[in-house]
Amino acid sequence: MARALVIGGGPAGLMAAEELARAGHSVLLAEAKPTLARKFLMAGKSGLNLTKDEPLDRFLTAYSPDWVRPLIADFGPAAVTAFARGLGIALFTGTTGRVFPTGMKASPMLRAWIARLTGMGVELRTRWHWQGFDGDAFVFDTPEGRATLRPEVTVLALGGASWPRLGSDAAWVPWLAARGVEIAPFRPANMGLMVAWSVHMVPFLGQPVKGAALVTPGARSRGEFVLSARGIEGGGVYAIAAAVREGAPLTLDLVPDGDAEALARRIAHVSPKESASNRLRKALRLDPVKLALLNEWGRPLPSDPIALAQRVKALPVRHIGPRPLAEAISSAGGITRAALGEGLELAALPGVFAAGEMLDWEAPTGGYLLTGCLATGRVAGRAAAQRLRR
């Protein structure tokens, strides 16, 4: 029997398995789905943003809470790019600093990684569904029937609670909670916001909003977002989603490169006999999507140029809350810092470690999520390997 067990075949689990195998230990990796790393492969459909090429101190500010940052500091952007290149994956860096495989796919990297792991002796078992504990043993439903394992160390990398159809269904929560592991409730992260659009917005649904800024009291996002039938979504929204989820008010600056005073002067040069929409179109060259949003969320539009300019600069976003957790790109919540000892070992379950989105941390999209999963998987795998050497 393998001395080390890893449950979960996503990036965090694969990294933990590699660290254990590299240290010379026998490893069995159990994955519930028929194939490994389904969420990783899904992320690859949009290009597989591995990490972000920026100074480490700035990179780490994207993570919260603070306790997770030192764990990621040892496997930041430079280490992630070196890791991918070590698997034979050519990379490029986009204009925003985001790092992608040249082929813009996840499958070549996953195949190379799996080949390396099997070459290191890692046993891969798919369709192994963890069913909780039987005393100190881990119980699985497998294609061959029930399996009961008592490894010397275990790394749990089962994901959070977003995209449950890909495997992150949080079924593990009651099993760990019953053993005394403190778990913060899961909440959606990197999610869209729901909007009850009027019928007048139907022609604009599916269109992007460019050259605008979403603003909360503590953040400003210039990223693009999309108007969907369900609301607003996309990178620009995800960057401020956590603050909005916690109750921060949200406004939209339709002309982020101009101040209200200058905009008011431009509006004043257009005849007040024109409609407010026409004045804005002529004075500020607002495109049809921005004018539609202004009419959707800003009516009644004031006639005074200063008040109208202020409305353009701070248009209230009338949303009705986050999209559901199951639709979020990632989740906040999970195993708390208080439940963890050195090396991400569970204080209530000595010899059991946790990594990835099971832990209570969050970060925006843009390469931060994947880097965080790889880094915490590495920490847990190394700590588990160290325990085996005692």
315-316: strand order across its sheet: 219-221, 213-216, 251-253, 315-316
* Segment 325-361, tens digit of pLDDT: 999 999 999 999 999 999 999 999 999 999 999 999 9
Angle 276-284/305-313 helices, nearest 10 degrees?
Answer: 70
Look up the CATH number of the domain holding residue 111: 3.50.50.60
Of 30-34, 122-126, 176-180, 261-265, the poorest mean pLDDT is in 261-265
Q: Are 9 and 112 in contact (CB under 8 A)?
A: no
Q: What confidence tier does 274 reach under pLDDT thresholds 50, 70, 90?
A: confident
Verify that 242 and 100 share a domain, yes or no.
no
* Segment 224-257, tens digit of pLDDT: 999 999 999 999 999 999 999 999 999 999 999 9
The pLDDT value recorded for residue 75 is 97
Domain end marker among 281, 304, 322: 322
* Rounded Cα–Cα distance for residues 378 and 79 (Å): 11
Verify that 252 and 348 share a domain, yes or no.
no
Amino acid residing at 40? F
Verify that 317 and 330 share a domain, yes or no.
no
Q: What confidence tier does 367 reach under pLDDT thresholds 50, 70, 90?
A: very high
Verify that 315 and 331 share a domain, yes or no.
no
Whether the predicted pLDDT of 196 surpasses 80: yes
Whether the predicted pLDDT of 218 surpasses 90: yes
Q: Which domain holds residue 230?
A: 193-322
The pLDDT value recorded for residue 327 is 93
The pLDDT value recorded for residue 279 is 83
Q: What is the dihedral of CA 151, 372, 328, 245, to 10 degrees?
A: 120
User: What percentage of the chain exceeds 70 in pLDDT?
Assistant: 100
Count structural domains, the chain. 2
Q: What is the DSSP letter of 376?
A: H
* Segment 101-120, tens digit of pLDDT: 999 999 999 999 999 999 99
* Rounded Cα–Cα distance for residues 158 and 203 (Å): 41
In degrees and rounded to multiples of 5, residue 194 shows phi and psi of -80, 140
Verify that 332 and 312 share a domain, yes or no.
no
CA angle 192, 194, 196 (to 5 degrees): 150
- Show the tokens assigned to 357: 């989105």
154 exposed, middle or buried (CB, 10 Å; 0-12, 13-18, 19+)? buried
Q: Is 215 helix (H, G, I), strand (E, B) or coil?
A: strand
Whether the predicted pLDDT of 275 surpasses 90: no
What SS3 string covers 261-301? Answer: HHHHHHHHCCCCCCCHHHHHHHHHCCCHHHHHHHHHHHCCC
The pLDDT value recorded for residue 199 is 97
Verify that 168 and 102 share a domain, yes or no.
yes
66: enclosing H helix or E strand? none
Verify that 368 and 298 share a domain, yes or no.
no
For residue 381, give the nearest of 14, 8, 16 by alpha carbon: 16
The pLDDT value recorded for residue 151 is 98
* Segment 300-333, tens digit of pLDDT: 999 899 999 999 999 999 999 999 999 999 999 9
The pLDDT value recorded for residue 97 is 95
pTM for this structure? 0.93
The pLDDT value recorded for residue 47 is 84
* Residues whose CB falls within 8 Å of the CB of residue 302, separated by 6 or more in sequence, listed in order: 276, 308, 311
Q: What confidence tier does 280 reach under pLDDT thresholds 50, 70, 90?
A: confident
* Rounded Cα–Cα distance for residues 386 and 89 (Å): 30
* Rounded Cα–Cα distance for residues 358 and 171 (Å): 11
Q: What confidence tier does 377 reach under pLDDT thresholds 50, 70, 90?
A: very high
Proportion of the chain in helix, strand, coil states, percent, rounded to 5? 40, 25, 40
The pLDDT value recorded for residue 283 is 86
- Show the tokens assigned to 292: 């539609």
Domain end marker among 322, 350, 373: 322
* Segment 73-93, tens digit of pLDDT: 999 999 999 999 999 999 999
Verify that 254 and 335 share a domain, yes or no.
no
* Segment 1-51, tens digit of pLDDT: 789 999 999 999 999 999 999 999 999 999 999 999 999 998 888 789 999
If one counts every other C-beta atom within 10 angstroms of the C-beta of residue 133, the result is 15
28: enclosing H helix or E strand? strand 27-31
The pLDDT value recorded for residue 77 is 98
Whether the predicted pLDDT of 383 surpasses 90: yes
* Rounded Cα–Cα distance for residues 76 and 72 (Å): 6
Q: What confidence tier does 123 reach under pLDDT thresholds 50, 70, 90?
A: very high
Tell me the torsion sign for CA atoms 65, 66, 71, 75: positive
* Rounded Cα–Cα distance for residues 53 and 197 (Å): 38
Verify that 96 and 231 share a domain, yes or no.
no
Tell me the torsion sign for CA atoms 22, 26, 32, 35: positive
Verify that 91 and 170 share a domain, yes or no.
yes
Verify that 201 and 129 share a domain, yes or no.
no
Domain end marker among 290, 307, 322: 322
* Segment 133-159, tens digit of pLDDT: 999 999 999 999 999 999 999 999 999
Mean pLDDT of the chain: 95
The pLDDT value recorded for residue 281 is 82
Dmax over CA atoms of the chain, in Å, equals 83
Q: Is the peptide bond before 65 cis (omega within 30 degrees of 0)?
A: yes
Verify that 178 and 157 share a domain, yes or no.
yes
Whether the predicted pLDDT of 204 surpasses 80: yes
